[in-house]
């Protein structure tokens, strides 16, 4: 069976799941995300990823409230969706809609020709992060392995 639908499980790699990352600012969070993606896939430019994330952020903060941000952007030359999950050691100012610091970040990098399927994935993420108990479970993870398993576990 070839299921090509985009799900969190399909786009998040264990190597791109980081727990309790030290970050002093929104800019530093974006730099860390770009560096991690580039380390995971050397064909992708960390500079281009960072620039695109910052450009998207200028259109309006991706801080959705309750300590959560879902930064996202399109990337020229990308042929698959990349997800990155970070929990931060301490919350950082992110211009979130509720003005609360952010400590839970899920980043979505999509191909330049992104389709409505990608918007659906963004919607899935927002829905998942809307569950306070789920977010609390993510925040309680102390290592990347448990964070990855919790994020990709089917919710019942």
Q: What is the pLDDT of residues 15-46, one digit of tens each?
A: 999 999 999 999 999 999 999 999 999 999 99
Query: Taking Cα atoms as reference points, which of 117, 85, 70, 104 lies closest to residue 12?
Result: 85
Indicate whether this model's pTM tops 0.85.
yes
72 noted as active-site residue: yes
- For residues 8 and 148, the model is more confident at 148
User: Which pLDDT belongs to residue 156?
Assistant: 36
CA 60, CA 124: separation in Å to the nearest integer? 20
Please identify which of the residues 40, 72, 80, 118 carries the catalytic annotation.
72
Sign of CA dihedral 148, 156, 124, 25: negative
Q: How confident is the model at residue 64 (pLDDT cuts 50, 70, 90)?
A: very high
Q: Which CATH code for domain 12-152?
A: 3.40.930.10
Q: What is the pLDDT of residues 76-110, one digit of tens each?
A: 989 889 999 999 999 999 999 999 999 999 999 99
């Amino acid at each position: 069976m070839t299921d090509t639908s985009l799900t969190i499980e399909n786009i998040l790699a264990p190597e791109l799941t980081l727990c309790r990352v030290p970050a002093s600012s929104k800019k530093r969070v974006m730099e860390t995300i770009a560096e991690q993606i580039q380390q995971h896939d050397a064909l992708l430019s960390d500079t281009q990823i960072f620039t695109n994330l910052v450009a998207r952020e200028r259109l309006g903060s991706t801080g959705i409230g309750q300590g959560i941000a879902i930064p996202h952007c399109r990337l020229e030359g990308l042929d698959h969706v990349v997800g990155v999950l970070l929990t931060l050691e301490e919350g950082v100012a992110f211009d979130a809609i509720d003005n609360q610091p952010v400590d839970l970040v899920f980043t979505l990098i999509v191909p330049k020709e992104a389709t409505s399927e990608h918007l659906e994935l963004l919607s899935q993420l927002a829905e998942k992060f809307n569950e306070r108990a789920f977010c609390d479970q993510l925040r309680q993870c102390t290592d990347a392995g448990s964070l990855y398993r919790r994020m990709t576990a089917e919710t019942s």
